[in-house]
Amino acid sequence: MPSRAGGPAGSSRRRRARTALATLAAAVLGVGLLAGCTPGTPGTASTGGPAVLRVGISADLTGLNPATTRTDRPIKPLAYESLIQLNSAGKYVPGLAASWSYFDGNKGFELKLRPDAKFSDGTPVDAKAVKAWIDYMGVAGGPYTGRLGKITSIEIVGDLTVRLHLAAPYPSVEGILATTPWGQIAAPSAVASPKTLNTETVGAGSYKLDAARSVSGDSYVFMPNEYYYDKAAVQWSEIDVKVISNPTSMLQAIQSGQLDVAVGNPSTAAAAKGSGIEVVTATSAVETLILDDLSKGSPTGDLRVRQAMNYAIDRKALAQALVGTYGAATSAMSPGNGQVPAYEDYYAFNPDKARTLLAQAGYGKGLTLKMLEPSWKSNLTQAVASQLAAVGITLNVTTAATPADYVTQIKSKSYAIVNQDLPTDADVWTVWTGTLQPKSLFNFTNWEVPELSSLINSAATSGEAHYWTDITKAVTEKAVFVPLYKVDAVYFVSKAVTGVKLSEASGGIPLISDWKPVK
């Protein structure tokens, strides 16, 4: 019987087999290396002529039509410059509107448009275009419909002046125009045919989307808008935006030179710094337990219970464990125009005081509260639950599996506590209308705190700056929320780009128009 592989003939065959295998392996390796050495390596910005900016974002755009989707800052404003902009320092600055003012006790808002702004289809940004957009926003049925309150009329005064007349005082119109799609106006031709807004951009921003080279959910290519009013501000020949949801992949993309700026993550920031990448951070939100029911008779309707919950939380330990150096403990909300740094330590960790307050409120034997947690924050919930349990408050937790499930469950109005992060670019009025105002989603029992209501009513008509900090103080003193810690936005910046700036007041969101290539 011939041996399959034994004997002198077999050893000769083995030698030939090994030689063939080695040759094959060398050929495969050679082809691979040759492919790797092909010129035109991705990951390097073009060195001749204007630069291409490559940006990595971790969450996809929610869609292209501003009226039916979210603001998607800082990307969507590339194509849809707002009437008023929130700059990287958190200040409201002119965008398509050159100036603005309130009148009639904050029931009126006047915008004066700049004369040279044009949409990417070449049509002018005028008062008629603004009116058409605001009319469309009111009926589009998107996430922000209804956020501007009831608009009784829109008055056109000449070509470049628009007046909004509101049914009730609204002292934060500039905030709404700067941070929501109400200000991201599209050309009247697109408003007349809204389906086009799902597949292309027709705004007045410095860039416009190249739909043919973009893949929804993956990559978006922006080219300069030839009609933009400030050509000198257009720093890039092209902006390529890539969606990379995996934080490690994002880090590796910028480490390998494929990206110039990337939305980072605290878990990968140390590795980024270690590889010579600049890490830019700023507070973007305050992780908060929102108490949905402050009505009389409910446990959380008692100020002592709410204050006990605040005293029971060791915020420093929580922040250290969950966000490390990319956040900080805080007892106070941090809205863009109402920050009170002195109140950040208002409720110093004191479990004994928490127990005393609970006992005074009649809950010396403990109480149980229903809480809704998003599944991606289960670590936070476990930590909070154990700290509250130590003072006698038991959390009966329901987990929402997905963002859609989370919102659906909130709307069920079944929970005393909901975990939500409050962005720091939202001003006090936005926080009020979104989470505190009777009939808002998080105030389904229409509770009112008299001191707070009084301040709100005064702030609504006067808009004086001190009211915003007064409201923050009142919210903290009355323990309306249980703020936990601030969370930082993290950006990774390569050596090819300069000007990436963030601030707490801007919600940790930069303005891409600030970014310039390093010459």
Partner 1 sequence: MMSALRSPLVGLILRRLLMAVPLLVVVSALTFVLVSFAPGDPVAGILGPNATPEAYERMRALLGLGQPLHVQYWHWLQGALHGNLGTSLYTGESVSKAIFDRSSVTLSLAVGSLLVSVVVGIGLGLVSAISRGPLARIVDVFALLGWALPSFWVGAMLILLFAVNLRLLPATGYVPLATSSAEWARSLVLPVAALSLGGIAAVTKQTRESFLDVLSTEYIRMAWANGVRPWSIYLRHAMKNASIRVVTILGLLAVGIVGGTVLVESVFALPGLGSLSVRASLQHDLPVVQGIVVLVTALVVVVNLIIDIAYAVLNPRVRTT
Closer residue to partner 1 (CB): 180 or 330: 180
List Cα–Cα distances, 240 to 83, 211, 216, 391, 490, in angstroms.
Answer: 24, 12, 13, 52, 20
Told to check if 123 binds partner 1 by CB under 8 A, we report no
Closer residue to partner 1 (CB): 42 or 297: 42
Closest among 302, 297, 306 to 482, alpha carbons compared: 306
Told to check if 394 binds partner 1 by CB under 8 A, we report no
Told to check if 410 binds partner 1 by CB under 8 A, we report yes
CB of 35 to partner 1, least distance (A): 5
Closer residue to partner 1 (CB): 21 or 233: 21
> Of these, 30, 115, 141, 324, which contacts partner 1 (CB under 8 A)?
141
Q: Which stretch binds partner 1 (CB under 8 A): 160-168, 216-224, 377-385, 474-482?
A: 216-224
Told to check if 30 binds partner 1 by CB under 8 A, we report no
Closer residue to partner 1 (CB): 192 or 390: 192
Told to check if 406 binds partner 1 by CB under 8 A, we report yes
Closest among 468, 517, 518, 424 to 236, alpha carbons compared: 517
Told to check if 252 binds partner 1 by CB under 8 A, we report yes
Told to check if 378 binds partner 1 by CB under 8 A, we report no
Site string for partner 1, 34-73 (x = CB under 8 A): -xxxx-xxxx----------------x-xxxx--x-x---
Please report the DSSP string for 407-456 in residue order. HHHHHTT--SEEEEEEETTS-HHHHIIIIISTTSTT-TT----HHHHHHH
Separation between Cα atoms, residue 244 and residue 60, nearest integer Å: 8
Q: In a 3-state reduction of DSSP, which class is residue 499?
A: coil
For the record, the structure tokens of 425 come out as 């670019």
Please report the DSSP string for 337-404 in residue order. T---GGGGGSS---HHHHHHHHHHTT-TT-EEEEEEEEGGGHHHHHHHHHHHHTTTEEEEEEEESSHH
Residues 309-338 that bind partner 1 (CB under 8 A): none
CB of 480 to partner 1, least distance (A): 17
For the record, the structure tokens of 285 come out as 């939100």
* Chain center to CA of 257: 26
> Of these, 19, 46, 249, 454, which contacts partner 1 (CB under 8 A)?
249
> Of these, 47, 404, 450, 519, which contacts partner 1 (CB under 8 A)?
404
> Of these, 99, 153, 199, 368, which contacts partner 1 (CB under 8 A)?
199
* Contacts of 217 by beta carbon, 8 Å cutoff, 6+ apart: 60, 243
CB of 191 to partner 1, least distance (A): 15
198 phi and psi angles, rounded to 5 deg: -80, -20
Told to check if 26 binds partner 1 by CB under 8 A, we report no
* Dihedral angle computed from the Cα positions of residues 243, 247, 248 and 249, in that order, rounded to the nearest 10 degrees: 0
Closer residue to partner 1 (CB): 248 or 379: 248
Q: Amino acid identity of 291?
A: L
Place of tokens 């605001």: 134
Separation between Cα atoms, residue 347 and residue 387, nearest integer Å: 14
Residues 261-280 that bind partner 1 (CB under 8 A): 275
> Of these, 30, 122, 364, 403, which contacts partner 1 (CB under 8 A)?
403
Residues 147-176 that bind partner 1 (CB under 8 A): 147
CB of 95 to partner 1, least distance (A): 23
Closer residue to partner 1 (CB): 216 or 453: 216
Separation between Cα atoms, residue 464 and residue 462, nearest integer Å: 5
Closer residue to partner 1 (CB): 243 or 354: 243
339 phi and psi angles, rounded to 5 deg: -75, 135
CB of 517 to partner 1, least distance (A): 21
Residues 424-463 that bind partner 1 (CB under 8 A): 434, 440-442
CB of 324 to partner 1, least distance (A): 22
> Of these, 198, 378, 379, 386, which contacts partner 1 (CB under 8 A)?
198
Closer residue to partner 1 (CB): 293 or 470: 293
> Of these, 19, 24, 46, 364, which contacts partner 1 (CB under 8 A)?
24
Separation between Cα atoms, residue 512 and residue 499, nearest integer Å: 9
Q: Amino acid identity of 336?
A: G
Place of tokens 């002592």: 304
Told to check if 374 binds partner 1 by CB under 8 A, we report no
CB of 208 to partner 1, least distance (A): 18
Separation between Cα atoms, residue 32 and residue 40, nearest integer Å: 16
CB of 244 to partner 1, least distance (A): 4
